[in-house]
Structure 1
Amino acid sequence: FLRRMIDQTLIEQEAKKAGVGVAAVKDEDAMAMIRDMLEKNNVSMQTYLKKLAAEGNTLENVKKEIKGQILRMRLLRREVQSRILITDEEIGQYYDQPRQDYEGKEAVHIKQIFLPAPAQADKMTRERIKNQARELHQRILNGERFEMLAAQYSKGPAAAEGGDIGFVERGIIVPEVEKEAFSLPVGQISNVIETDLGYHILAVVDKRGAGLKPLPAVRDEIKAKIEDEKVAKKYDEWIDGIRKKSFIDVRL
């Protein structure tokens, strides 16, 4: 903890020398990061403020800490990241290492219309929902767009995107739906599939087989990994150099 505090102070000093002080980081930047964090965790600002108060902390302290993080990243880009070069040869060598990270699994790209009907629902309710699913299925067969019906009626994931779930591998979705998805040809519409969750209608968009992903497909991913490794190494060298040339007076 003490080392982290010292490093943060040294970084702030270096930032000032480089003309990138904490004052240059706007409150709006810190608040944007806080709001993004809360949104991802489905936490309201009011709940978060209460939590901070219970911990004896304040929003101002959090903003100050985040400003320090933003400052560190800006300085990192300026002093470290901008000096990093990644060659095609390095990417190729990384790709030729043990390749389990790039072994693609069999997957199917599906769109789904899902009408929930819990198993504990009474028989009449399930039958009503099943009939609704059958009607939607028939409308698709009659030429209505799957995406429009999914957006209007589906209660499943990605309904707003026309039910487009994207590629899914085996073992991800419920067995009954998985069996149908992987057995149907591309371009086909499934029958109504009944599960304990409800009723599903699938559209199979595309399929891909298992095997090694080609280099172009994973090039950006590999480049990012190499960059992360180089940045971490360069940062350690950079901060170590700053420590060595700085006078640190620790008073406990």
Structure 2
Amino acid sequence: MKCNIKNRAGAGIFIALFFLLTILPLKASGEVVDRVVAVVNDSIITLSELNAAYAVSGEALKDEPVVLGQGSFTSEKASEIIDTLIEQKLIKQGADKIGVEVSESDIDMAVDDVIKQNRVTKENFIVMLSNSGLTLKEYREQLRARIREIKFVNKQFRSKVFVEEADMEEFYTQNLDKFLAPPSIRLRLIFFSNQDKDLMAKRLEIVLKGLEEGREFAALASEYSEGPATSKGGDLGYLAVGEMDKKISATARKLKPGEVSEPIYTTQGVTLLQLVDSRAQVPRPFEEVKAGIKNALTNKFLEENFNYWIKEIKELAHIEVRL
């Protein structure tokens, strides 16, 4: 996976910290004579850092580190990774300048979150790190750097991000297809368990006769049903079609409002359905999706502000690449 600070500083500000596990540099195996490959103001980037970043860029490092001059590390690929590392150094310098601090408790919480999200024990997590060539101490230091970057971007640019109501409404209007609710149907249900099949058959007969005589489905459900929502006349409310039992869904979709189904026999018993109403696939109300829209636009504006800053700071910085 390519470790691209522009992507991480924008949308990546809000990603779960467990994702950091997949973007942190691995230690290069084997022995490499280290040297400086780039200078960024008063910071340097070493060949070992470049090899580590290359290892997680999507071109997996096998048994030996990639060494410049061996031919497998293309100048184009090296330039991409160097650019990413330069941006990381500039962010660190910016964070140090405004006093961004990362406490041990910040790192503890991040490690705990990584372990929880990966659903492993701490012991297994340490083994995972070891297989990647890292100790827990080294991983914590890398987490410290990433958390500092996230804090820096939030502190430096969040105050400059304003998402107006008009922006959200415009985004909603222009992207209605992204907010479609699934089709849904409102059902009433009468259910009888088959634990006592004779009793089940008798009650079903009573209900069917009541329907023939013109009694309300809801009244019969309240009086006889063994299913849910008997106090509401068996009214299950609106249900998403895709989330229903396939047999129930297939039967219900053939009904017209007010119509009652034929008995549906299952391994649990027998069910009668009445379709109350159906809703086509329509956009969810703006208020329902407003928070998500605000978050998406905040990420977008944050990334735009960051990209403007990184471009400007690069022009002012002393950057020397020695590939």
TM-score of the two chains, using structure 2 as the length reference: 0.50
Name the structure 2 match of 1:220.
291
- Cα displacement (A) at 1:169: 3.2
Distance 1:33 1:108 in 2: 43
What value does the CA root-mean-square deviation take over the aligned residues?
A: 4.1
Distance 1:225 1:60 in 2: 34
- Cα displacement (A) at 1:215: 1.6
1:170 equivalent in alignment to 2:241? yes
Of the candidates 110, 121, 128, which is equivalent to residue 51 of structure 1?
A: 128
Name the structure 2 match of 1:82.
159
Distance 2:98 2:186 in 1: 49
Cα contact 1:109–1:168 (8 A) shared by 2: yes
1:15 equivalent in alignment to 2:95? yes
Write the mapping of 1:78-227 to structure 2, written as runs, cut at 5 A.
78-107=155-184, 131=195, 169-172=240-243, 174-176=245-247, 178=249, 194=266, 209=279, 210-227=281-298
1:242 equivalent in alignment to 2:322? no
Query: CA, structure 1 residues 31+178, in 2 after alignment: closer, same or farther (shift >3 Å)?
Result: farther
Query: CA, structure 1 residues 180+81, in 2 after alignment: closer, same or farther (shift >3 Å)?
Result: farther
* Residue aligned with 2:319, SS: coil
Distance 1:235 1:101 in 2: 27
- Cα displacement (A) at 1:180: 8.0
* 1:160-182 per-position Cα deviation (integer Å, ceiling 9, x unaligned): xxxxxxx8633345413655898
* 1:52-91 per-position Cα deviation (integer Å, ceiling 9, x unaligned): 2122111122212221221112111121111011112211
Cα contact 1:27–1:63 (8 A) shared by 2: no
Equivalent AA in structure 1 for residue 167 of structure 2: E
* 1:126-161 per-position Cα deviation (integer Å, ceiling 9, x unaligned): xxxx85xxxxxxxxx99x9x8xxxxxxxxxxxxxxx
Number of aligned pairs?
198
Name the structure 1 match of 2:83.
3
Equivalent AA in structure 1 for residue 178 of structure 2: D
- Cα displacement (A) at 1:192: 11
Query: CA, structure 1 residues 108+249, in 2 after alignment: closer, same or farther (shift >3 Å)?
Result: farther
Name the structure 2 match of 1:157.
none
Distance 2:321 2:186 in 1: 59
Name the structure 2 match of 1:156.
none
Equivalent AA in structure 2 for residue 17 of structure 1: K
Equivalent AA in structure 2 for residue 85 of structure 1: F
Cα contact 1:176–1:193 (8 A) shared by 2: no
- Cα displacement (A) at 1:11: 0.9
Equivalent AA in structure 2 for residue 27 of structure 1: E
Name the structure 2 match of 1:32.
109
Write the mapping of 1:64-79 to structure 2, written as runs, cut at 5 A.
64-79=141-156
TM-score of the two chains, using structure 1 as the length reference: 0.62
